[in-house]
């Protein structure tokens, strides 16, 4: 069975690699300038324009590549915000004892009860729609989930004999955290962050579709889909390409996370 799982990892990494490769390429070479409207409105795919043009005459493939930058930026940004804040808060909560532990547990339960999308919409409502706001909002919502996971993992690790042994050997807490706690919780937290990255990409796309994420003229895939909706029959490629790109990236991220989990967790490798 584990062979099939490593196939998942390979497929996942290949799909993510495809998107990352295309985005890296976009920094070196773009088929057209992003604001070049010389192609004429809604031309069919083929010729100079691989995927045709949008309703303003901009090259769709160029827009798609730029949307890829935004999608990857969202994934990385939200994971950075959520990972740093979440792991930090989770570590503190994991070391808390007595009433502080109860307060930490209840606070995290409360924070986690807020749905990501509503929290993001609330922050956007206050701070205005922009890519940075969307990333920050998604990252903050993610931080609560990561913090709760980290807290539970830290509590488990702290009961282990090797921690007691390290304490008896006179090793300081900071060095125990760096040397024993973080390496032991790392794989599980990383896999969770990878899954969250996929959700972050979908959340940003939803916000942008609703007009609450990346403002025009920047081409977020969610925004491109909103703009393509009115002309879905005359220009179907414009309505298909960004959606397919989203699915490729998110399936890739999810498969990679699944594969990584099975690599790092021997108990799952056997049972599935």
Partner 1 sequence: MSHYLVRRTAILLGSLFLAAVALFALLRLLPGDPANALLPVGATPDQIDAARRELGTDASLPSQFLSWLAGIARLDLGKSLISTLPVGPEITARLPVTVPLTLTAFVLAVLVAVPVGVLAAARADRWYGPVINAVAQLGIAVPAFWLGLLLIAGFALNLHVLPAGGFPPDGWADPGLALQSLILPCLTVALVMAASMIRYVRAATLDVLGADYLRTARALGAGAREAMWRHGLRNAAVPVIAVLAMELATTFLGAVVVESVFALPGLGSLLVRGISQHDYPVIQGVMLVSTATVLVVGFLGDVAQRLVDPRLRLRSAS
d(Cα 123, Cα 253) in Å, to the nearest integer? 26
Neighbouring C-beta atoms of residue 47, cutoff 10 Å? 9
- The residue (of 182 and 239) whose beta carbon lies closer to partner 1 is 239
Rounded to a whole number of angstroms, the CA Rg of the chain reads 22
Please give the torsion angle defined by the CA atoms of residues 127, 128, 129 and 135, in that order, rounded to the nearest 10 degrees: -10
Q: Tell me how far apart the alpha carbons of residues 124 and 143 are, in angstroms, rounded to a whole number.
A: 17
Contact positions vs partner 1 (CB under 8 A): 106, 109-110, 113-115, 117-118, 121-128, 198, 202, 205-206, 209-212, 222, 225, 228-229, 232-233, 236, 239, 243, 246-247, 250-251, 254-255, 271-272
* SS3 of residue 215 by DSSP: coil
Instruction: Specify the DSSP element, H or E, that contains 60.
Output: helix 60-95
Contact at 8 Å (CB) between 51 and 60? yes
59: which strand partners?
53
Q: Which is nearer to partner 1, 68 or 222 (CB)?
A: 222
Q: Report, in Å, the least distance between residue 46 CB and partner 1.
A: 21
Cβ of residue 177: shortest distance to partner 1, in angstroms?
Answer: 28
Strand ranges for 120-231 from DSSP E: none
Residue number with CB closer to partner 1 (106 or 165)? 106
As measured in angstroms, the least distance from the Cβ of 239 to partner 1 is 6
Q: Based on CB atoms, which residue is closest to partner 1, 146 or 253? A: 253
Q: Which is nearer to partner 1, 175 or 272 (CB)?
A: 272
Closer residue to partner 1, CB minimum distance, 32 or 209: 209
- Closest separation between CB of residue 8 and partner 1, Å? 9
| Minimum distance from residue 251 beta carbon to partner 1 (Å) | 4
In 3-state terms, what secondary structure has residue 224?
helix
The minimum distance between CB 157 and partner 1, in angstroms, equals 22
């Amino acid at each position: 069975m584990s062979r099939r799982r490593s196939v998942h990892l390979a497929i996942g990494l290949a799909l993510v690699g495809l998107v990352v490769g295309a985005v890296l390429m976009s920094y070196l070479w773009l088929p057209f300038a992003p604001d070049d409207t010389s192609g004429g409105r809604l031309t069919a795919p083929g010729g100079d324009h691989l995927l045709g043009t949008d309703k303003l005459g901009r090259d769709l493939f160029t827009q798609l590549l730029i949307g890829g930058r935004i999608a990857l930026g969202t994934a990385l940004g939200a994971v950075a915000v959520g990972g740093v804040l979440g792991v930090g808060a989770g570590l503190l909560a994991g070391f808390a004892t007595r009433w502080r532990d109860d307060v930490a547990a209840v606070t995290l339960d409360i924070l986690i009860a807020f749905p990501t999308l509503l929290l993001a919409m609330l922050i956007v409502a206050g701070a205005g729609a922009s890519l940075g706001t969307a990333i920050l909002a998604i990252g903050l919502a993610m931080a609560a989930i990561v913090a709760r996971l980290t807290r539970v993992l830290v509590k488990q690790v702290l009961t282990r004999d090797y921690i007691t042994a390290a304490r008896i050997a006179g090793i300081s807490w900071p060095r125990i955290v760096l040397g024993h706690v973080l390496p032991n919780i790392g794989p599980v937290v990383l896999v969770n962050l990878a899954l969250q990255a996929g959700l972050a990409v979908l959340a940003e796309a939803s916000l942008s579709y609703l007009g609450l994420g990346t403002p025009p003229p920047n081409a977020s895939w969610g925004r491109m889909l909103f703009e393509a909706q009115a002309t879905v029959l005359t220009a179907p490629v414009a309505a298909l390409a960004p959606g397919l790109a989203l699915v490729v990236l998110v399936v890739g991220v999810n498969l990679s996370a699944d594969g990584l989990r099975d690599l790092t967790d021997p108990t799952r490798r056997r049972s599935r």
